Every structure is written in C-alpha cells, then in structure tokens.
Amino acid sequence: MSQRFRFKLNEKDVNKAEQEETEKSETHLTESPVRNLCFVWPNGKKKFLNYAYLVSGEYLPEENLIKLAFTSETILIKGERLEGLFEQLLDHEPRRIVCGDARYNALDAIEASVNEIIITNIVN
C-alpha cells in the first residue's frame, strides 16, 4: 500500500467527519445560494421552508413570541430568550429550530428555548 493511498484514505475519513458535523449543526456553516429552515417537534415531526420565501419577521418580547411570515405559511415560535434567535433568523443563520419541553428551559439559561411552534397555512 502506497503512502499516497493512505493519505487519500485519511482524507476521506476527515471529509466524512466534516459532513457529519455539518448535518448535526443548528446553523449554516458555509455560504450557499439555497438556505432552508427546518422546524422539529418533540414527536419527530419535521417541516422545512426555504428562506427565499420568508417575507417578514417580528419579535414580541412581552409575549415571548417570534412571528415569521412566509409566502404560504405563518410560523409562531413561542419560548424564552428568543431575541438572539430572532437576530439569527434576520441573518438566515439557523438550519433547525427544535421545539423542546418547557421544563428544560432553566438548563439553557443563555440560549433560546423554543417551547411551541405553530404553523398556520395561508394557502389552502
């Protein structure tokens, strides 16, 4: 076995590890012309929407609520400490928004805690 072959084999392992890390990431790590936002519920249900169809967003701190208006749906995100998430959405950074149980909010005292995601269809 040549040393060059070993190098290519190691390079393949590194690329695989990078790909797995990207799949686990909650934000977009690289520039891309296509950006999607995936919503994940505790029961395993998932839905993604393309950022290109995000028309507007609104942060309501007194209600602990973010409203996102897409061309076909309105998304309501309820939780705690949502201002940082809103700023990330403004820059199209998040890949996934994962809904969790409210009893775990105190564990993430710094990051946003999403407790409810409600999707309302505009187009029937």
* Domain boundaries along the sequence of the chain: 1-29, 31-121
Q: How confident is the model over 94-109, as pLDDT tens digits?
A: 999 999 888 877 765 6
What pLDDT shows up at residue 1?
46
Taking a C-beta distance cutoff of 8 angstroms, is the pair 37, 18 a contact? Answer: no
Give CA–CA dist 116/100, Å, rounded: 8
Mean pLDDT of 109-120: 89
pTM: 0.72
The percentage of the chain sitting over the pLDDT mark of 90, rounded to a whole number, equals 57
Beta-bridged to residue 119, according to DSSP, are: 75
What are φ and ψ of residue 101, in 5° steps?
-75, 140
DSSP helix, strand, coil percent of the chain (3-state; round to 5): 35, 35, 30
Sign, Cα dihedral of 16, 19, 24, 29: positive
